[in-house]
Amino acid sequence: MTTASVDQAVPGSAPDFDRCYRAVQARDARFDGQFFVTVRTTGIYCRPSCPAQTPRPHNVAFVLTAAAAQQQGYRACRRCAPDAVPGSPLWNVNADMSARAMRLIADGVVEREGVAGLAARLKYSPRHLNRVLTDHLGAGPLALARAHRATNARVLIQCTALPMSDVAFAAGFASIRQFNDTIRAVFGLTPTELRRLRHRRDRSQSDAVSAPGSVTLRLPFRAPYRWTWMRWFLSAHAATGVETVIDDADATLGWRFRRVIALPHGPAIADIEPHDDHVGVVLSHLDMRDLGAAVNRVRRLLDLDADITAAEESLAADPTLRPLIEGAPGLRVPGSLDPAETIIRTMLGQQVSLAAARHQIDRLVDALGRPLHDAGPTDGDVPRAFPTAAAIAADGRAVLRGPSRRIDAVIGVAEALAEGRVEPHVGVDASDLRAQLIELPGIGPWTADIVTMRVTGDPDVLLANDLIVARAAADLGVDLRDTHHWAPWRSYATMHLWRHRLAGSGEAV
């Protein structure tokens, strides 16, 4: 097995049995989250790396989602906790409706807007959506959302001291009875027994129970991960008050990242500490209904669900890229916490230096950002949420400086976002989002490409119009007009070219 990806005969169909079974025999953690193992003789489903004895081939089947396993009557293995795995990279690599639906379900759209809202965002009827998801993933949108709620509930049960009634409604259940029935069906335990199970575990091997009003989590990812690259990106683009990289000698890798996150029910603060094998996250000032959305957005920001082995093995087949990959394995593509914010900030970075862009962004945040006065200072600054598109449309003209044409463009895009004429979100097809952006005055190919890459998580966007990437390609003798052999991983190739040029100028990346 040369890559960490699972072959499928048809997009969305059950994965190839032989390849999956070999991964289970090897207990290969790279496949955790890409598929799940159902065991007929025990009635449970597991992650591929489950340490239990490998079941015989005739007793197992493989499904793409936990919801499909639950739909068939299987409960989650208590030993390997199959819901606590990295997400499937299929939802970014594939551009079909099922993949885009999964991205929205992970963001909690069904809990907030129902199946009708999910279908409307995808531009399909609820009936067609249900049919396609059931055919492709083995479960419809309600079952997929139920699995998502069950995972959120487990986290709240085991990582907080919230009363069970508060857990039920925070996780998105309509009633206490529905909550109890789902937890019993998915985990084979009552909610109280599930909480006791955590208390019996060795705390050194698990998450500590969070303080009141916050949630402490461990987010897994597929190694390797080059944290120096992500640290550089986060630090270089940090907006004062909204986010900061904090040097911390007590942190495992010597630094932490603190960020205000805009969420559906109000802003929260995420304190993120990278480790070699997981990411520690403390979410505070959080409306617990937003737990799933917050976790999903942090995962997307840090690109934690990438199948990095498959990407780099494919790109390393190009002799020009191989030294770059061998010299910096684990490079990720930074994602987006908020699509509207990403668009505005990228526009302000057009044709100017990072320092000039940050100056404009800091002015916007200082003048129009919502302060979180009860959150405490961040290095002397009161934490602030990035301004909404509506606030920028209404008052941004008095704050922004520079050529009037550029200011007009930013205000025009903010108005389009505020009025819903453009609706960027993780469920939009990448090509559709790029086309929508290009139609807006003031947005060119560079801005459209980088926003599309970061918002949708599309792994195959080449930033051919980026000056740093172009210079790196010239250094290496790469023709950016002929990169079809890098597909579908051109976003990762872009990151390696970008890093190569920055490293040559002395940046610690």
The CA-CA-CA angle for residues 417, 395, 437, to 5°, reads: 25
- Name the β-bridge partners of 35: 32
Do you know the residue count of the chain? 509
Quick check: 259 and 245 in contact, CB under 8 A? no
Report CA Rg, the chain.
22
Sequence-distant (6+) residues with CB within 8 A of 105 are 118, 141, 144, 145, 148
Please give the helix or strand (H or E) that residue 435 lies within, else none: helix 430-438
* Eight-state DSSP code of residue 268: E
Query: Of 20, 32, 46, 83, which one is the catalytic site residue?
Result: 46
Closest CA to 335 of 495, 124, 465: 495
CA distance 107 to 338: 12
Sequence-distant (6+) residues with CB within 8 A of 208 are 216
Amino acid type, 366: D
Quick check: 38 and 91 in contact, CB under 8 A? no
- Name the β-bridge partners of 36: 63
Annotated catalytic residue 46: yes
A 10 A CB-CB count for 420 gives: 8
Residue 144 structure tokens:
């997929």
- Name the β-bridge partners of 284: 214, 269
Query: Of 32, 83, 458, 466, which one is the catalytic site residue?
Result: 466
Sequence-distant (6+) residues with CB within 8 A of 193 are none
Quick check: 304 and 201 in contact, CB under 8 A? no
Amino acid type, 116: A
A 10 A CB-CB count for 499 gives: 23
Annotated catalytic residue 458: no
Closest CA to 141 of 36, 49, 246, 67: 67
CA distance 89 to 490: 15
Residue 479 structure tokens:
């023709």
Residue 195 structure tokens:
């909480």
CA distance 439 to 383: 34
Q: Which residues are catalytic?
A: 46, 466
